[in-house]
Amino acid sequence: EDGDKFDEEEKGVSTDTQTFMALCSCVPEDRATQSLLNKLIRCSLVNNTNQVEVLQRDPNSPLYSVKTFEELRLKPQLLQGVYGMGFNRPSKIQENALPMMLAEPPQNLIAQSQSGTGKTAAFVLAMLSHVDPANKWTQCLCISPTYELAVQTGKVVEQMGKFYPEVKLAYAIRGNRMERGNKIQQQVVIGTPGTVFDWLLKLKLMDPKKIRVFVLDEADVMIATQGHQDQSIRIQRILPRDCQMLLFSATFEDTVWKFAGRIVPDPNVIKLKREEETLDTIKQYYVLCHNKEDKFCALCNIYGVITIAQAMIFCHTRKIAAWLAGQMSKEGHQVALLSGEMTVEQRAAVIQRFREGKEKVLITTNVCARGIDVEQVSVVINFDLPLDKEGNPDNKTYLHRIGRTGRFGKRGLAINMVDGEYSMGVLKAIEKHFNKKIVKLDTDDLDEIEKIAN
């Protein structure tokens, strides 16, 4: 009756791609080739199971994500181009990245994304959206680490811009010889750092002050090549302050991170979380109970700990959620209830209050919790363990739920209420699935409760 499931689960990476990626990663010394190979073998988007975490430059501004391309209010020519390329709906990274990239005033972005996540299409869309075709000068500049990668990106520009012929593209790559002095008319330039540097500074083919969007693609590959890092930084330096800076990288080692910080001031950040990483920063416990009243008592015992920060409590049905909220209120605890029968406005109001910290505890079901992104949530309580429609342990939903905590390296806490043999079996299955220990917690033992708080 409740249908409390994430309705749009992402599918796993296809086995072919996985195998291929595994093969590619055997040759780490040539990341540019690896990246290009990934691009070439891919004909459609890879739907990965990674969760995305978004860190906004201004945490108070609302977090927009889109589920359709129409919501982005693209120019019709571009929307036509998007559909023409076979994109039906935004990929995971596009859902979050596109609203930021297309915002006015422009926002800067550092995003982690692998090939196949729709990254190139996203930044190409951002470039094409910000071009004024009436102006016959370069307005968007994209640098890629190699000739071949630049050509690949160019192809996406050509496809995406198929119905927008007023916008022209030039390749700043080796072999494309140009005369000094005459400004080029193409609004979009894609190239490698060396040639772009020459076009800008030696040959003066473009006016850096007129660049409105600067994209640095494959930053991890970029810094692996001698000289590219310096050239990139020198290019970035001569661009105007209000130029939108976008940087992408498949990985984020310290070196990449440092480089990204020099290229992109005041960035929004989008990172992918891997399952293993997600769970590494989360302490997981379970509490053994007999029934729901017992679970409620356990909850009251740990209430002090969970309300140090903010907590979300997940119940299996609306009915249990409502019952629990009632019991908690009777105890004098101030809790918020987010329930399926509320109108959108009511839900928005509840979420907003929770965001502002007016309530420390939010009781909800899966379906309602979707899309709620509250930075301060550091405790998740599974009042009921997640089950799929057939009543089997729902590993993915478990990860979705507790993955809200422990973000950006902060430590999170997950507490699972178990009642009876069946739910113990579910817990064991989840434990096995993620291969991470879920430790027993005695909620009558004050010392133990203290311990989990630290």
Say whether residue 49 binds ligand NAG (CB under 6 A): no
**Minimum CB separation from ligand NAG for residue 44, in Å?**
25
Q: How many beta carbons lie within 10 A of that of residue 219, not counting itself? A: 29
Comparing CA positions, the residue from 195, 205, 190 lying closest to residue 141 is 190
Give the one residue of 53, 359, 384, 394 binding ligand NAG; rule: CB under 6 A.
394
Instruction: Tell me whether residue 3 or residue 86 sits nearer to ligand NAG (CB atom).
Output: 3
**Minimum CB separation from ligand NAG for residue 353, in Å?**
34
Instruction: Tell me whether residue 359 or residue 394 sits nearer to ligand NAG (CB atom).
Output: 394
Instruction: Tell me whether residue 186 or residue 423 sits nearer to ligand NAG (CB atom).
Output: 423
The SS3 assignment for 169 reads strand
Question: In angstroms, what CA-CA distances link 112 with 70, 185, 380, 409?
Answer: 24, 32, 26, 16
Instruction: Tell me whether residue 393 or residue 406 sits nearer to ligand NAG (CB atom).
Output: 393
Site string for ligand NAG, 144-183 (x = CB under 6 A): ----------------------------------------
- Helix H or strand E encompassing 142: strand 140-143
Say whether residue 393 binds ligand NAG (CB under 6 A): yes
**Minimum CB separation from ligand NAG for residue 438, in Å?**
13
Comparing CA positions, the residue from 2, 8, 97, 64 lying closest to residue 397 is 8
Give the one residue of 18, 346, 352, 392 binding ligand NAG; rule: CB under 6 A.
392
- Helix H or strand E encompassing 284: strand 282-289
Tokens in use for 334? 């101030």
Instruction: Tell me whether residue 168 or residue 433 sits nearer to ligand NAG (CB atom).
Output: 433
Exposure letters 136-147 (e unless 16+ CB within 10 A, then b): eebbbbbbbbbb
Cβ-based neighbours of 204, under 8 Å, separated by 6 or more: 180, 181, 183
**Minimum CB separation from ligand NAG for residue 92, in Å?**
20
**Minimum CB separation from ligand NAG for residue 48, in Å?**
18
- For residues 10 and 90, the answer to whether their CB atoms sit within 8 Å is no
- For residues 379 and 412, the answer to whether their CB atoms sit within 8 Å is yes
**Minimum CB separation from ligand NAG for residue 393, in Å?**
5
Cα–Cα dist 220/247, whole Å? 10
Say whether residue 386 binds ligand NAG (CB under 6 A): no
Instruction: Tell me whether residue 215 or residue 426 sits nearer to ligand NAG (CB atom).
Output: 426
Tokens in use for 211? 């660049």
Instruction: Tell me whether residue 220 or residue 394 sits nearer to ligand NAG (CB atom).
Output: 394
**Minimum CB separation from ligand NAG for residue 97, in Å?**
30
Tokens in use for 29? 């010394």
Instruction: Tell me whether residue 75 or residue 433 sits nearer to ligand NAG (CB atom).
Output: 433
Q: Considering only 60-68, 224-232, 302-310, 385-393, which stretch makes contact with ligand NAG by CB under 6 A? A: 385-393
Instruction: Tell me whether residue 329 or residue 392 sits nearer to ligand NAG (CB atom).
Output: 392
In the region spanning residues 416 to 435, those forming contacts with ligand NAG, defined by CB under 6 A, are 429, 432-433
Distance from chain centroid for Cα 338: 24
- For residues 52 and 93, the answer to whether their CB atoms sit within 8 Å is yes
Instruction: Tell me whether residue 120 or residue 397 sits nearer to ligand NAG (CB atom).
Output: 397
Cα–Cα dist 40/272, whole Å? 22
The SS3 assignment for 219 reads helix
Question: In angstroms, what CA-CA distances link 88 with 66, 84, 92?
Answer: 13, 9, 13
Which residue is at the shortest CB distance from ligand NAG?
433
Instruction: Tell me whether residue 41 or residue 429 sits nearer to ligand NAG (CB atom).
Output: 429
Residues in the interface with ligand NAG (CB under 6 A) total 8
CA angle, residues 302, 368, 343, in degrees to nearest 5: 120
Say whether residue 388 binds ligand NAG (CB under 6 A): yes
φ/ψ (deg, to 5) at 24: -60, -40
- For residues 210 and 183, the answer to whether their CB atoms sit within 8 Å is no
> What does the chain come to in residues?
454
**Minimum CB separation from ligand NAG for residue 426, in Å?**
9
Cα–Cα dist 255/223, whole Å? 8
**Minimum CB separation from ligand NAG for residue 275, in Å?**
12
Cis peptide bond N-terminal to 59, omega within 30: no
**Minimum CB separation from ligand NAG for residue 395, in Å?**
4
**Minimum CB separation from ligand NAG for residue 276, in Å?**
15
**Minimum CB separation from ligand NAG for residue 4, in Å?**
15
Q: How many beta carbons lie within 10 A of that of residue 315, not counting itself? A: 27
Site string for ligand NAG, 433-452 (x = CB under 6 A): x-------------------
Instruction: Tell me whether residue 136 or residue 433 sits nearer to ligand NAG (CB atom).
Output: 433
Binding site for ligand NAG (CB under 6 A): 388, 392-395, 429, 432-433
